[in-house]
Amino acid sequence: MQKFDQLTGVAAPMNMINIDTDMVIPKQFLKTIARTGLGKNLFHEMRYDDDGNEVADFVLNKPAYRKAKIIVADENFGCGSSREHAPWALLDFGIRCVIAPSFADIFYNNCFKNGILPIKLPKEDWAKIMDDAERGANATLTIDLEKQTITGPDGGEVKFEIDPFKKKCLLEGLDDIGLTLKNDDKIGKFEKDQGMTRPWLNGVTTG
């Protein structure tokens, strides 16, 4: 998993509540188990019309936000089904951070497992960041995970809270598999010891 330490990029404003995972990546694109290639279908039903043409006034189709790395949204982002394809699609598009007042729990945790930083902010701080995001070409934010700060284009700074363990995993680029592999030596020793003390577990019989 890609590490997350600092990120500077354009923030796209999506001032909507209850953006669910079917809006993030509609169900017809869930047939794949690959984590790549989903970015083109991110927010498909809002980005494209029935003929497959871009909807000009959708935020990610606007010139200023086409290469956005951050999304600033309203309450309850990522609600709906628990599909992990939602963070996959965000990441494949290039989104590394989502900022909102609140998130659905499963989506929130899935973000950390895929190298995306979800930031919860109190409404007052969130409103400042949303205002920054609405500046178009000047909507550049800098996020420092180690310091837990968001710096706006005018130099203003907002602090955010994050679980220390989740922070450590993002900083080190550790998903569940990576965390397990950190104990590879201990796992190997345990398996070797089990093989010696309980050989029947490995199909070895003693007479």
Tokens of 94: 């290039």
Paired tokens of 181: 């592999």
In the chain, which ranges are E strands?
Answer: 6-14, 70-73, 97-100, 117-120, 140-144, 149-151, 157-159
pTM for the model = 0.86
Each residue's pLDDT expressed in tens, for the chain with a length of 207 residues? 899 999 999 999 999 999 999 999 999 999 888 888 999 999 999 999 999 999 999 999 999 999 999 999 999 999 999 899 999 999 999 999 999 999 999 999 999 999 999 999 999 999 999 999 999 877 799 999 999 999 999 999 999 999 999 999 999 998 765 665 555 666 656 666 666 677 766 766 655
Domains annotated on the chain, with CATH: 6-173 (3.20.19.10), 175-207 (no CATH)
Give the pair of three-digit tokens for residue 41. 């279908």
